[in-house]
Amino acid sequence: MKSPSAHILVTCTKRKRLAAPGRLRLGSVGKGSPSDVAERWVQRLEHTAALKVPAASLYAGDHWQIAASLPAEAARSGVKARLWILSAGYGLISGSASIAPYSATFSVGHPDEVIARFTGPEGPEAVREWWAALSAWPGPETDAPRTIAELVRRNPNFPIVVVASPKYLAAVQDDLLKAKSALDDPATLIVVSAGGRGRGPLASNMIDCSARFQSALGGALMSLNARVARGVIEQHPPFPWKVTGFQDLLERLPMTEPVDQTPQRQPVSDADVREYVRNALRENPKARHTTLLRLYRESGYACEQKRFGRLFKEVEQNHARTK
């Protein structure tokens, strides 16, 4: 008898095992409309000489370690699940796709933030245009689906589990709505996104997870979505997977009062900070170091205020001398 099947979609991570070359950092691409920027970006991805590796082996960090384990957990429940990646730089790709190291993210304030490349309107509509533009590119794999909707059209009876932050959900919202309408049962679209419950057109497909599960599940807040998904799948949800079944099992997990939600930030070198400041000053020569530090920390990076101020002043002086 054939095993039941499902798709698991997870977001990419900023942390990677290989450094991105300068031309594959989105911050080095000029500004324009989402489609114009995407066209220039895709040209770089297609013609890079950088070493390409399977996507699953490129990403790193706590979130990725848990996310990559989800198909194995599904297999213990008798479900054959394939892992797909929602990449801010490549679009929808499989874990086996051969890709070059790159830097592109929806995180606010990062030097390679997607929305910072756009002129004109900003916000959710702009990132949805970006996702649509990437999806129109054939991508790194032959005959692989480039949209979530196409993935569903090929297997409309496969449940879809999406593990993503609100920022990534905003980018793929239109694609997910089309996918939902193409499913044999719309309830088999399951979205795991802490902080996103009860808002928007996908609210009925989102399970109600939040920081109150963090202490029980362990790990950093940044990997909570993946840990919640794993915590539910470990309990062998009945097949076909549905949002109500996932929610019922989630509520059986131990939980606590919200824990200290101080961001878990990644340490960085002086060179990383200087590069961030240089890129930021190119975009806005009048940027203040306090604003840039706040944005940098919100992107998940750790830097003490005095150290950041010193490095900012150093880069600012060099920037002024080269004018």
Tens digits of per-residue pLDDT, 187-223? 999 999 876 555 678 889 998 776 555 555 555 546 6
What integer pLDDT is reported at residue 227 of this predicted model? 87
Report yes or no on 97 lying in a domain. yes
CA distance 66 to 113: 24
Average pLDDT score, the chain: 87
Report yes or no on 256 lying in a domain. no
Q: Does 113 lie in the same domain as 70?
A: yes
Full domain range(s) for residue 84? 5-250
List 191's β-bridge partners, or say none: 162, 206
Q: In this predicted structure, which of 106-115, 124-133, 151-160 has the lowest mean pLDDT?
A: 106-115
Q: Does 178 lie in the same domain as 277?
A: no
Q: Does 276 lie in the same domain as 240?
A: no
Taking the CA atoms of 219, 106, 129 and 194 in sequence, report the sign of the dihedral they define.
Answer: positive
List 5's β-bridge partners, or say none: 80
What type of residue sits at position 280?
A
Q: Does 120 lie in the same domain as 33?
A: yes
Report yes or no on 121 lying in a domain. yes
Please check the confidence at residue 263 and state whether its pLDDT lies above 80: no
Please check the confidence at residue 264 and state whether its pLDDT lies above 50: yes
Instruction: State pLDDT tens for residues 32-69.
Output: 999 999 999 999 999 999 999 999 999 998 889 999 99
Structure-token match 């001398």, residue found? 321
- Band (279; pLDDT cuts 50, 70, 90): confident
Q: What is the DSSP letter of 241?
A: P
Global pTM exceeds 0.75: yes
Report yes or no on 165 lying in a domain. yes
Q: In this predicted structure, which of 28-32, 35-39, 152-156, 292-296 has the lowest mean pLDDT?
A: 292-296
In the chain, how many domains are there?
A: 2
CA distance 127 to 106: 8
Q: Does 301 lie in the same domain as 220?
A: no
Q: Where does a domain end: 202, 220, 250?
A: 250
Q: Does 280 lie in the same domain as 139?
A: no
Q: Does 299 lie in the same domain as 180?
A: no
